[in-house]
Chain A
Amino acid sequence: MSTVMVIAPLVIANWSAISAAVVGAVGVLGYSTVNEGIVAGRRVRAANRAEIELDESEILEGSGGSGEEIVVEKDDVRAVFSRDARGALKVCVEGHGRSKAELKKIGEDLIGRVTQQYVYHRVVTELGNRNMAIIDEEVSEDRTVKIRVRNW
């Protein structure tokens, strides 16, 4: 071992890349994407709602981001991913019978997994572009993804 570097992720992407990351991430957690028309009329009380923004993110304008949403659901929880006024990625989590703190935790978990999925895709794509061979890949119990690369 010669260098250990810790890197904070920056999510800067168009809406289609964000959508792909959301769909890839939430499926693993048991959420399913919902046709917006089905849920549009259903709103829950403000008290049962939490919003989380991904500070280090920017959804690029002109990529269909404005007004776009992805709605996912699992049991009694509904999460809506969208672009906030600053252009950052935001998730709004709603759920009957859930505390704000509980919904906030769910939202943080969701947005973390979306970030992980986005970073994974970026890394694997760039490694592929440079013909670097992934020799091993595993997901640990805490869902950390470990990749080993050769031909550096």
Chain B
Amino acid sequence: MAEELEIEISPTGQVVVRTIGIKGTRCIDAAEFIAKIVGREESRVLTSEYHETEQHVDQHQSIHRRH
């Protein structure tokens, strides 16, 4: 899946950024990049893809510990 950003600029200038197909903490980097350009972060919601990769890392770490 292609990595994309969807940026909505409302008629008052408020911005909503959605990351698409960017997994793990890189999605936060992408959104924060836009926040630095525009102004001040008001809120953020992390959804499934962020946690997907985090779970993968956790599994990897637990396998590592067994050795």
Interface residues of A, Cβ cutoff 8 Å to B: 1-11, 56, 109, 112-113, 115-116, 118-120, 122-123, 126, 135, 142-150, 152
Q: How far is the CA of A152 from the CA of B4 in the complex (A)?
A: 6
Nearest A residue to B46 via CB reads A3
- Interfacial residues, chain B to chain A (CB-CB below 8 A): 2-23, 27-28, 30-32, 34-35, 37-50
Contacts of A143 in B (CB 8 A): 11
In whole angstroms, what is the CA distance A116 to B13 when docked? Answer: 4
Assembly CA distance A4 to B21 (angstroms)? 12
Closest 4 CB pairs of A and B: A115-B13, A2-B49, A10-B39, A9-B13
Compute how far the CA of A118 lies from the CA of B2 in the bound complex, rounded to whole angstroms. 29
Q: Are A10 and B40 in contact (CB under 8 A)?
A: yes
- Would A112 and B11 be within 8 Å (CB), given that A2-B49, A3-B28, A150-B4 are in contact? yes
Q: Report whether A6 and B38 are in contact in the complex, using a CB–CB cutoff of 8 Å.
A: no
Instruction: Note all chain A residues with C-beta closer than 8 A to B14.
Output: 6-9
Name which residue of chain A comes closest to B36, CB basis.
A126
Q: Are B50 and A122 in contact (CB under 8 A)?
A: no
Report which of A7, A113, A145 forms a contact with B38, defined as CB distance below 8 A: A7
A7 to B34, Cβ gap below 8 A?
yes
